[in-house]
Each structure stands twice: as C-alpha cells, then as structure tokens.
Amino acid sequence: RVFRPMPKKVSNSKKKKESAEKGLLRPTTKPDVDNYVKGVKDALNHLIYKDDSQVVDLKVSKFYSEEPRVEVIITEIVL
C-alpha cells in the first residue's frame, strides 16, 4: 500500500480529509502504481528474494495519508 501526502485541496477541506482518511477519496494522479511496484521490487532484490522474477502475485493500492509511506506485506508460498 502506497500512502501519498494529502494535497492542500484535500487537507484544507474537513469533508475531503475525512473521506481520504477513510480510504474513500483516493489519489488518481501520477505516479502510477506500477512505478511504485518497480521501485519496491528492485529495492527488495537480494534482500527478500534472489530476483524479483520470483514475485508471483501482488496487489497495489494508493491512498492519502498525513504520514506518507509504503507498506509491504510479503507472504512466502510453499509448494
């Protein structure tokens, strides 16, 4: 999950800010989610997995937050 900073037009409106905090108002501006994915997957190469080609499933969502951050949950699939 990618938590982007709230723009002033959102943080200055109580109603929009509440919607953003609940995840109802979401960022639709660039960068695209796939650009975040590339950076995170590259950063985790040789740390979490040998190569990012080992990633077989993922879900990415963008949100607004007063505390911008990226949260990654990794689950090993055991065959």
List Cβ neighbours of 61 (8 Å cut-off, separation of 6 or more): 1, 2, 26, 33
Segment 29-49 shows an average pLDDT of 94
Segment 33-59 shows an average pLDDT of 94
The pLDDT, as a whole number, for residue 8 is 96
Which structure tokens are listed for 3?
């938590």
Residue 79 has pLDDT above 90, yes or no: no
With 0.95 as the threshold, say if the pTM is over it. no
Please report which confidence band the pLDDT of residue 77 belongs to, taking 50, 70 and 90 as the band edges: confident
